[in-house]
Amino acid sequence: MLQTIRENSQGIIAKVIVGLIIVTFALFGVESLIGLANSEKAPAEVNGKEISNIELQRETELQRRQILSQMGEDADPAAIDEVGLRRSVLDNLINREILLQSAEGQGLYVSDQIIDQLLVADPGFQGADGRFDRNQFEATLRSVGLTPLMYRDQLRKALLMAQERNAYSLSAFATPVQAERLAKLAAQTRDVDWVRFSLEDELAQVEVGQDQLQARYDENPQRFMTTEQVVLSYIELNQADFVNPDAVSESDVRSAYEQELARFQAAEERQAAHILFEFGEGSEADIQALAESVRERIQAGELSFADAAAEYSADVGSAGNGGELGFNGRGIFAGPFEDTLFAMQAGELSEPVRTEFGYHLIQLTEVRETAAPTFEERLPVLKAELAAAEAEAGYVEALDRLADLSFSAADLQVPAEELELEIKQTAPFAQTGGDTALTSNPKVLRAAFSNDLLNEQLNSAPIELSREHAVVIRVHEKIPARQQSLDEVKSILVAELKQEQAVEGLKERAEALVENLSAGEALTDLDSSLVWSSAEAVTRDAGSMPLELNRAAFELARPEENKSILEAVELNGGDYAVLRVRAVHDPEQVDEQLTQQLQKSLDMRQAETAFRARVQDLNAAAEVERN
């Protein structure tokens, strides 16, 4: 065969083909041939620049991870709408590319030095000593699927886009007159009255006739179609049912205890006190000199350590207690502090030790080592641990057995008998879920309404509700959708019609009262059972009246020539009220601090409005092609 290939490769055609391949490699590289087999259009182009598939996939995966982390321990990846997620991520990438091109087109620039400073200062990339840790930096990025170069590029792009946004936020402004006017409006007060009509009282007076019920039912009978429902039979495995501490032998417990003793290492703990000379207004040299001076006075007997802590220590948590920190092991204190503490002898007073907080004087008072726990102390704990470990093994074995039995059985009877499990039933529920944790579980819902269970009458595979709980389900009864009769939905229609008629009746009463009061009639003459509730000099969002009335009171026009302004207002819960604004009081002076706060708020709003308009213009002008 090899000889045949060699002979055929000597021909003119073969040499021409090889020559063309060589030329292609030389001019375009090997990617030119690989690309022919793997050519795939970019998901989108923005002004001629492609958004790559790799970028889209990476951002989609990041978004998916965030969604799953928000779902918690029982997150189900199948619950994520992949199509919608991909579309949303692509839209975000397009918008980001438009903003990035705008920033680059204006010559904005971010230096490598600025990026380096931001990385070094990021607490997420710092080690226990508070300094930049390269290993932690790379590990953090790997956890989200990024390389250092990729992250630097993302950071650079984010800073570029932020520069353009900041240009708007730092240049937009509102005038002091606007802020002062807004402050006056905020401090304005109003004198108001209101009278309230109760929906509950109105409902008690409304009656619904049979003709009304029939007419409402006939309007749209389809709304009273039930949804398809199922009743499930199920058996469940719980790991907790396999836990049996009494079955654990003492020899097993003693063996586990001996293993613990072999691994046990006495942990040294040290009792210490300290005085913190905190970095503050003075220079670091002055603070260090003060610490050395206090140390000399303590050693000379002029001052006790406890008195020095009370007078000089900036650690408010320990200063009043002689600087006492109690017994502590390693891993509690900052590096230099801990290194010094565990190098000292009992009774020794340290030289000033510098940490990020300031200088410390440390006094070591006692050293002790933790003793190994006795067998009697560890017996109940080890017994529970061994029982839990055996239960897990038994649960896993039973789960495998359950999977085999439920797959081959025609119903749940065989697996239930083999594993000594009880067959249980649910109440009917629809595809939207039931009232219990089982019937509202997304995994159970998908299985229950799948073709295999709903139409083929099969058992489900074991559904793991958690790491320690699984069920096998089967459709016991399928309840098809049907049209409900008028008698079945009568209570719903009665409540619905009464609500509508009561609300409409209240509205008519309130509007009629507004009309009559506006014509100059008195409330007592119109209805002696109604009484005004009054509030003087009400502020915005005052708690002395319903929120809806307060809001409406400040939306109404200013009364003119001592003529009140009236309006009917619907309240939360369906009640109605008639509101009367009698007077408006403007403040003579406004709070300067409030004016300044409003000035900043107006500046931010102006900036946001201007930048939003800029983004809309960029999006309108951009040539975006989605593939």
Regions of the chain where pLDDT drops below 50: 1-6, 8-9, 13-18, 20, 23-38
Are 290 and 331 in a shared domain? yes
Q: What are the beta bridge partners of residue 475?
A: 232
Q: What is the full DSSP assignment across 82-118?
A: HHHHHHHHHHHHHHHHHHHHHHHHTT----HHHHHHH
Please check whether residues 276 and 236 belong to one and the same domain: no
- 347 in the same domain as 276: yes
Residue 255 resides in a domain: no
Whole-angstrom distance, CA of residue 439 vs CA of residue 427: 9
- Among 369, 398, 415, residue at a domain's last position: 369
pLDDT, one tens digit per residue, over 484-529 is: 999 999 999 999 999 999 999 999 999 999 999 998 888 988 888 8
Give the model's pLDDT for residue 422: 94
Q: Provide DSSP, 344-362.
A: SPTT-BPPPEE-SSEEEEE
Q: Is residue 260 part of a domain?
A: no
Same domain, 459 and 549: no
Give a yes or no: residue 346 inside a domain: yes
Looking at the structure, do residues 501 and 581 belong to the same domain, yes or no? yes
405 plus 473 within the same structural domain: yes
Q: Within 13 Å, how many C-alpha atoms sit on residue 185's CB side?
A: 12
H-helix segments, 472-582: 486-518, 523-526, 547-555
Q: Same structural domain for residues 407 and 363?
A: no
Full domain range(s) for residue 545:
189-214+495-585
- CATH number, domain with residue 362: 3.10.50.40
Residue 302 belongs to a domain? yes
Query: What is the C-alpha separation between 554 and 185, in angstroms, rounded?
Result: 9
Q: Using one digit for the tens of pLDDT, what is the confidence trace for 311-335?
A: 889 888 788 888 898 888 777 787 8
CA gap 236, 345 in Å, rounded: 61
Same domain, 269 and 362: yes
**Same domain (yes/no): 336, 408:** no
In a domain, 87, yes or no: no
Q: Are residues 427 and 444 in the same domain?
A: yes
Number of domains in the chain: 5
Contacts of residue 345, defined as CB under 8 A and 6 or more positions apart, other chains included, come to 364
- CA 186 from centre of chain: 34
- The verdict on residue 516 lying in a domain is yes
Answer yes or no: is 437 within a domain: yes
CA 441 – CA 428 distance, rounded (Å): 15
Q: Is residue 21 helix, strand or coil? A: helix
Is there a single domain that holds both residue 343 and residue 421?
A: no
Q: Are residues 598 and 580 in the same domain?
A: no
Say if 253 falls within a structural domain.
Answer: no
424 membership: H or E segment, kind and range: strand 424-425
| Per-residue three-class SS string for 448-479 | HCCHHHHCCCCCCCCEEEECCEEEEEEEEEEE
Rounding to the nearest 10 degrees, give the CA dihedral for residues 590, 591, 597, 601. -20
